[in-house]
Structure 1
Amino acid sequence: MQLWTWHTWQERSFLTCSLLPQPHGFFTRHFYPAAPEALVKVISPAMQVYRVKQVHSGDVLTPTEIEASPKLLPLADGIITERPEQAVWACSADCTPALVSDVITGQVAAVHAGWRGTAQKILPAAVARFQAQGSQLENLRFVLGPAIDGSVYQVGRDVAAEVVLSIEAGISSEPLTGDALIEAVRAIKNPPLLSDPQPDRLRLDVRRVNQIQLEQMGIEPEQIAIAPYCTYQDPANFFSYRRTHEKKVQWSGIVSR
């Protein structure tokens, strides 16, 4: 089954995933500097657009909460819709853009999951908000878009330990931290931690950690899709802060039904 499809709009490329029934897109660098208010027209007729000021948190807001905020862009890293025809957006340049869908209710979420947000379990926080709105776990679909691949994402051991602490409860029958936790995680099947030539560094697969978090909640593997694209290794299509240190981003968005 072909999950991922490239589309062209006015000679610019974006991605969709067949796991998501709602209009959506993972946009490439070729759309820069277009904002979501313009990008939404590529995937759907004019909708109400919602976005936040991303701060690497574990917070997920609703449109109602965004509209009630005294700030033009409230601080958060995820948005979950409440009604049809709401478009929610996340931007990224190595961090994981995650689009989430309830295939029954039609409600959706857009989440920015960097290593800090992943350590704070932002995707499970989004799931909790779906459940509060009546969603059932089996009806949710999760698509993790283009991000820096674990094979090239070098981090310190302290960062690695902080991130994998978020999956520790499902790894060991007794509490583990630090190097003991790192070694336990490296021993699991398809581990999110890989070796690095520098002894004080590791390679971290943030998308894999998010996948494990979801599976530990009871999400089945077939409910999750991970894009086979790395922002760091594909300069033709994606910005990468780790590669260039430029503050440029690509947007990902989805529309509720």
Structure 2
Amino acid sequence: MWIQSALLERHGFRHAFTDRTGGVSAAPFDSLNLARNVGDDAEAVEANHRRVVAALGVAPAPLHEVSQVHGTRVRELRSGEDARRVRAEEADALIARDGQAVAVRVADCVPVLVADRTTGAVAAVHAGWRGTADGVLPAAVHALAPVSPSDLLVALGPHIRPAAFEVGGEVIERLRAAAPGTDPEVRGHAKPHADLAVVLRAQLAALGVPESNVEDVGGCTFAEAERFFSFRRDGKLSGRQAGVIVARSLGRAALP
């Protein structure tokens, strides 16, 4: 049903990178589709959401999400906000600070979960190639301020890996500009292939986040059809998995 980051788990942050298993949706959205806008049965999607929040131990609280647009806007949650209203807003990162669960939906893009081990604040970030090139992850980190980069824990979730991620030369150039000194192009293919994770790691390093505080949990959404949804592989018939993280409640002590 999901993958976890040993790094986030070790510091007591409830979180998950869901896969496509363990839900109730029928094919082609079988079975843990968490997207409401892909043509799946609405009741099945809501049932899938309930399974996730129950497994995370936050039920009956909802997963707070936004309308993702491949941009860089960061939305910070306020206490008591209505999840349906937040869901209608356009953004690509969510920040929570007091026991709320935030999620981003993906089907090839990189779900990034960020946690401040001192304050307990968290961010869920949707980083496709456009968002990565435009700096959505640095924007989310800055929005967590005040924060010490050495206190941040970051997990990169399953996404399309370089062997499957063929792109145009202009995409390579935009990604290269987003992380000067880093080469996102993976050679050995007839056409350019891009590595999003190497750019995201370089952006985090430029912000002062230690390499030891960043974990990639693995998984290729394109190559592992039985395990993950992939828009590039399945097009409009693809569901969405999610990266989900729960902020530590105010007043709860940090783990060492």
For each residue in 1:19-39, what CA deviation from the matched residue of structure 2 results, as whole angstroms up to 9, or x when unmatched? 112111111111323454541
Correspondence for 1:224 among 214, 221, 240:
214
> Does 2:152 align with 1:140?
yes
The corresponding residue for 1:247 is 238
Opposite residue 167 of structure 1, the aligned amino acid is A
Correspondence for 1:42 among 50, 55, 62:
55
| Equivalent-residue separation in structure 1 for 2:99 and 2:56 (angstroms) | 12
> Does 2:96 align with 1:57?
no
| Equivalent-residue separation in structure 1 for 2:50 and 2:90 (angstroms) | 19
The corresponding residue for 2:136 is 122
Deviating more after overlay: 64-73 vs 104-113: 64-73
- Aligned residue pairs, count: 220
Give runs of aligned pairs for residues 1-257 of structure 1, distance below 5 A: 13-20=1-8, 21-30=12-21, 31=23, 32-33=32-33, 34=45, 35-46=48-59, 47-64=61-78, 72-82=87-97, 84-131=98-145, 134-168=146-180, 171=181, 185-186=182-183, 192-198=184-190, 201-245=191-235, 246-257=237-248
| Equivalent-residue separation in structure 1 for 2:222 and 2:230 (angstroms) | 5
Deviation at 1:229, TM superposition (A): 1.0
Q: Say if 1:120 and 1:166, in contact at 8 Å, map to a contact too.
A: yes
| Equivalent-residue separation in structure 1 for 2:86 and 2:202 (angstroms) | 34
Q: Are residues 152 and 158 of structure 1, via their aligned partners in 2, closer, same or farther at CA, if it must alter by over 3 Å?
A: same
Q: Are residues 253 and 68 of structure 1, via their aligned partners in 2, closer, same or farther at CA, if it must alter by over 3 Å?
A: closer
Q: Are residues 42 and 71 of structure 1, via their aligned partners in 2, closer, same or farther at CA, if it must alter by over 3 Å?
A: closer
Q: Say if 1:14 and 1:28, in contact at 8 Å, map to a contact too.
A: yes
Structure 2 unmatched ranges of 5 or more? 24-31, 34-44, 249-256
TM-score, reference length from structure 1: 0.80
Deviation at 1:196, TM superposition (A): 5.0
Opposite residue 218 of structure 2, the aligned amino acid is P
The corresponding residue for 1:174 is none
Which protein has the bigger strand share? 1
Q: Say if 2:64 and 2:87, in contact at 8 Å, map to a contact too.
A: no
| Equivalent-residue separation in structure 2 for 1:111 and 1:72 (angstroms) | 14
Classify the secondary structure of the residue corresponding to 1:116. Answer: helix
Classify the secondary structure of the residue corresponding to 2:209. Answer: coil
| Equivalent-residue separation in structure 1 for 2:205 and 2:223 (angstroms) | 28
Q: Say if 2:65 and 2:87, in contact at 8 Å, map to a contact too.
A: no
| Equivalent-residue separation in structure 2 for 1:70 and 1:18 (angstroms) | 33
Deviation at 1:64, TM superposition (A): 2.9
Q: Say if 2:53 and 2:62, in contact at 8 Å, map to a contact too.
A: no
Deviation at 1:49, TM superposition (A): 2.9
| Equivalent-residue separation in structure 2 for 1:53 and 1:139 (angstroms) | 29
Q: Are residues 71 and 211 of structure 1, via their aligned partners in 2, closer, same or farther at CA, if it must alter by over 3 Å?
A: closer
Q: Are residues 214 and 142 of structure 1, via their aligned partners in 2, closer, same or farther at CA, if it must alter by over 3 Å?
A: same
Deviation at 1:217, TM superposition (A): 1.3
Deviation at 1:248, TM superposition (A): 1.2
For each residue in 1:157-181, what CA deviation from the matched residue of structure 2 results, as whole angstroms up to 9, or x when unmatched? 011111221112xx2xxxxxxxxxx
Two-structure CA RMSD over aligned residues (Å): 2.1
Classify the secondary structure of the residue corresponding to 1:101. Answer: strand
The corresponding residue for 1:181 is none
